[in-house]
Amino acid sequence: MTIHKEGFKIIAIAFVILTALNLIFVWAFASLPLLYSILGLASLIFFILVVSFFRIPKRTVTINDNHILAPSDGKVVVIEEVEETEFLKEKCTQISIFMSPLNVHCQWFPVNGEVTYTKYHKGTYLVAWHPKSSTENERNTIAVKAKNGQSIVFRQIAGAVARRIVCFTKAGETAKQDKQAGFIKFGSRIDVFIPLSATIKVNLEEKVQGNQTILAEFN
């Protein structure tokens, strides 16, 4: 397991602030060692959580052009037929994955092919499970044309806590299932829009792993 580069600055800032606070605790509560010990332990746990949030586990990816893999860790909260109006402009199946702050928050490409579209949208910060978060929250949309000619769209969506979406790709670049596509900081959601003809391989409430779990198969 490694720490993602997006976390280096935040981890360093957290370390400096928490170290300063602990020095203040020791000085302010010198006569109450139990109290500053408890506060020190709480700050240590918080720091470990911050570091853990930016972890990137080592995973072996099975590359398969026929598979649509989960782009992120989390829990499947939506599987439904919808109209994707931004890029595909057709009916498709939407699979939404909710990421808690404890999940790995890196995103990978769900299919192999070519990135044909990326666009960042400013927006609000509704809770990530809100039905309107897909169209009203801060978000970034990525479209990929798979090697079989079919296109899929996946959308990074900020939540009530997540306020920073990072996209590592742009139109014209190659998409690979073992390649990072982006990162969302501190809790969020991913919507994946796939052809109606694809065979769904996951169920509602199922926990999935990025670039490991097969969401669907092309037909």
Residue 214 to residue 208: CA distance in whole angstroms = 8
Q: Is 197 a catalytic residue?
A: no
Say which residue the tokens 């918080």 belong to. Answer: 46
Determine the Cα angle at 69 with ends 127 and 6, to 5°.
55
DSSP letter string, 76-114: EEEEEEEEETTTT-EEEEEEEEEE-TTS--EEE-SSSEE
Among the listed residues 43, 151, 188, 197, the single catalytic one is 188
Residue 90 to residue 170: CA distance in whole angstroms = 23
| Catalytically active residues, by annotation | 188
